[in-house]
Structure 1
Amino acid sequence: MFRFFFSRITRQLEFFLLLFILVPLLCLSIFFIFQARGNSHDTSNFLAYSVLINKSRVQEILNAYESGVETLALDLQVHENFFSFLSVHDEESFSVLDLLGREDISGDLIAGAAFLGYQDNAAIVTTNGFTFTQDEVHAFASHKTDGRETKTTFLFRNSGTNDLSILLSYPFEDEQSLFSGFLIIEIKPSSLLELEKNFRTLSQTGEMQIVSWGKNGNAQTILPSRFINASVVSSITSDSLYAKVLKRNGFLDRSIVDYRGKSVFAASRYLPTHELGLIVKMDRQEVLEPLIILAGSLTLIAVFLLFFGFVFISYFSSIVAKPLEDLAEAARRIEKGETDIRLPHTDAKNEIGVMTRAFRRMTTSLIESNEALEEKVHNRTAELQKNFSLIKKEKAKDDALLSSIGEGLVVVDAKGLIIMVNRAAESIFTLRSDRMVGKQFSSVIVLLDKDNHVLSGDAHPVLSTLLTAKKANRMEFLSKRSNQDIFPIALTSAPILLSGKVTGSVIIIRDITREKEIDRMKSEFISIASHQLRGPVASIKWYGELLGKETSRMKESTKEFVNRINVSTVQLVALIDDFLNVSRIESNTVARTLEDIEPYKLVQNIVETYRHDIEEKGLKLTIKNLSKVKSVSFDPESIREIYANIIANAIKYTKDRGDIFIRLFDRGVTLMLEAKDTGEGIPRDEQSKIFTKFYRASNVLEGGHKGTGLGLYTAHLLAKQAGGDITFISAKGKGSTFTVSLPRKQKTLSKN
């Protein structure tokens, strides 16, 4: 319903107009609420502050009374007169008021004074016209029996009227500290009365009350009431104003009702030292009267806004909304294909009239344009059909081309889902394309490492290409056919980039089972040939050495021939040993033993082996040991061959008077050796083949350097078998930096 209502702009405009009227009303309401809360808050703060100030003043006045009475009672002359009175029992012989020597306490008049003595548990009173009620005498006596004779006692006379007076008593003790009687003084508390009158001037209904509690369970006001000029006596019930004074200090509940039955705002403080309560209050009606006036004014404003809004929306609906709805209806009919549209005629000069006349002209033009468009669509459709036929032919050619590719081709999207497979890939994995397309590459084509562990995450070349947009170039893995046969493959994964974003990957897969078999046969042939050649070559070497011992009887030319035979024989024996060593390493038939080896000393020994070549070429070789590891657990022959091949290459290919820098350091639990030289370097397009068996870079061959291409192959193979690796950074003509990373404890391999 709301969607239908707001689908029309005219309804939206009416809604926003209504909202424009309602928002001020809402703001006025919020203003009134905050004004009311502020008024109430200000009143509560005023009452709380007033009760706190008046409490301090009342406390000062009462303390001044106590201090004054205590000073009089402790006066030596008054003390002697009391005991003299007690001994002679003559009430008329003393005027206690005259004995005090002062007429006021803290500015309030002393209206009377008397001695109340006790002898043989009988009360003896001297009054000189100053009388007591039976209840007052009983109150003084009760203080004695309650054991409170060391405390000044307050009694209020004529509570709640302007004729208010306060009786204060202070106890006398004899030389044995035994209670003997009281000094009683009557004071007219004009200070308290003036304090209450001053509070009345702050508001029309403001009133301050001092409340005392009797033993009969009633509460009684002491100061005169503003409205009845009499004391208010109330029972202390749980919800009464006077009961709440006993429970809390500060601003009381707003629903408080006073002795007149009227709702009031009140605040209270309890004076525990004198067992009195102090209350200040104001009528709720007085506090809320400004808000009532404000509410009336806001109501008039709201009525005016509603009336104005109703008139304005009615005018808007007839002048703007209706013509716009007619235009919208005509537009909907044109959308459905109707051409017989009739709009009300208007001569209005406003925007609605302009729109209506423009819509008439637009309708006529639209009908004419529609007829021309239909003809163009017909012609364009015929052209598209022709182009579609050409596209189908080109697609057929592309499909035939992909199918004719001899290597497997698989295309995946950015999520790794297979979207295309050629026939060669189907043949390699013995799976039809319908069982591969739409599935994850890693679930259909399983890649295994040399230990038959399934690859995943960053180790998976296709997933790595999708994540990093880097090409994985001819990497060798093991995989499975549909019958679970494991076979070797070579895989290349290249990213498909669109606007710099990876949208998929093209994977080329080749079955290298035959290549691996040929490589195995080649290695086996070299191994067998090396074994077969070793015997004859050893004989040639032996005979050559014998001839070398008989050179004294030979001509110079013959000596040179014999020397060349011996040198060539040594080189041939070394080459055969290299072939046999590589064969043993590849077949993992080399016996290995783990020993504690100090890497730094090993590097020094290897460098000393090539000291002659270093000095002959004038090389500057620096060794820096940053490793904190003193020894590693490794096969001595393996680690020596790895380091020796790297260091020997650096020495061999560095030009005369060049620099070689060798550095040992730690990286976690891995020992690192870095050999940096200023030699020939490796061409960029040949770097991927540098660890291939028998491979030598073109610039090295051109420079005439001798070698077999087995050194780096052997070192890389040994490092991998030990759980390490060899990496390098190089540029042609700028030297190379080879980094060997080996575990501190060599990975153990089972001997085949």
Structure 2
Amino acid sequence: MILRTRLFLRRYVAIFGVVALATIVTAMLANQWHDSDRFGTLLVRLVLVVLGIAGVLSYFIVRSVVNPLLELCRATRAIGEGDYGQRVPVRTDDELGDLARSVNQISGELGNRLLQLHASDERQAAVLGGMVEGVIAVDNQEHVLFANAAAGRMFGFMPPSAEGRRLLEVVRDHTLQQAVSDVLEKRKPQTLEIEWQLDTPKILAAQVTPLPGSEDVGAVIVLHDNSELRRLETIRQEFIANVSHELKTPLSSMMAYAETLQRGALDDSEIRDSFLARIMEQGERLNNLIQDMLRLARIETAQQPFEIEPVDVGAVLGQCVHDYHTQAEAKSIELVYEPPADKTYASADEEGLRVICNNLIDNALKYTPDGGRVEVRWRRDNDTVLLEVKDNGPGIPRGDAARVFERFYRVDKARSRELGSTGLGLSIVKHLVQSFSGAVGVESQPGHGSRFWVELPTAR
């Protein structure tokens, strides 16, 4: 409405000039101005005055229309360049004012939408960056659009440098590349397993899914590292096999002896007594195996209650050495006990420490030949208490030393069973030491004996 009024005023100025000029000329003629020179001069002056007034009025009217338009142009140009904080001053209530308010509202809404998009992108980046699963997005030409940090760790590349490159250049695995090609072509998800070798072998489960939208948007790959799960499954299978074998061996022996006695050997006192002794021996072995398995299960599942307190290491080891003197004398083994001058206290559970010492000493005595030597000593070393059990037995090959703390692992399986070993003693030692926030290890050379050591925190 106001804009139409301004246009009307411009036309009115022009009409006003013409009417005024005609009125003046008519008045002059009516008054019979006969002096043509004076009449012409006055006429020119009047025309100039009228035109000047019309020009001034036209200038202000045009400026009131053009200046807001120029401000709108500058503001829309700035908004187009990304300056969503740009605002157009609203000076009038006409159509130009309405247009300025609309531009300001659009600019504000665009700015808010941009902030929301930035916040959404940051949240998405934080979520994807914190995922343990690897995520790789590719376009329909198999170029990498995005890869998170987990995917980079799995395949050994830097995610920012992978963007824009072909998937096969980043992850040189033809199985994965073929699966992505099939998904892009058929638009159906696929699941596959990848064996990947970086620093260590890995088993990766991959889910390739087409991105929603048109057929040329690409696909996303989600990767999960199943290496630890596969390792645990292997351990579980080995454990079940070992337990079955360890339980089957004494049971088979007991059943064989009992069957022989049933078939008439009961009448022979010598055979009967020998077989009953073997049955008792195998029954004791079976009982020890079951007890060790239960103890290990309680320790691993944190169901074994421990009372962590300062424990006098000398008192516990002294009692353990005393308990094994008879076994050492039976094999003519010299059991050396070397206590330090001062009392040493470790932060541990007393009964748990006793089990650790018993297992280490028993293991050393079993594998040390007759007439050998076993040394038991301990000392304080800064903030730890170091326990050592050293023997001069056959020693352990280098490849087996790292595995002696595994359940049911034996260097010489036949000899271990002959000695009555359950194969769980050193595994119990390892888990007990870890429960006391300590460390355990072995140093050995074939033919030069072994040295088992345990580090426990010093009691404060």
TM-score by length of 2: 0.46
State which structure, 1 or 2, has the greater radius of gyration over its C-alpha atoms: 1
Structure ranking higher in helix proportion: 2
Q: Report the TM-score when normalising by structure 1.
A: 0.29
Query: Quick check: which one's strand share is greater?
Result: 1
Q: Which structure exhibits the higher relative contact order, with contacts defined as CA atoms closer than 8 Å and separated by 6 or more residues?
A: 2
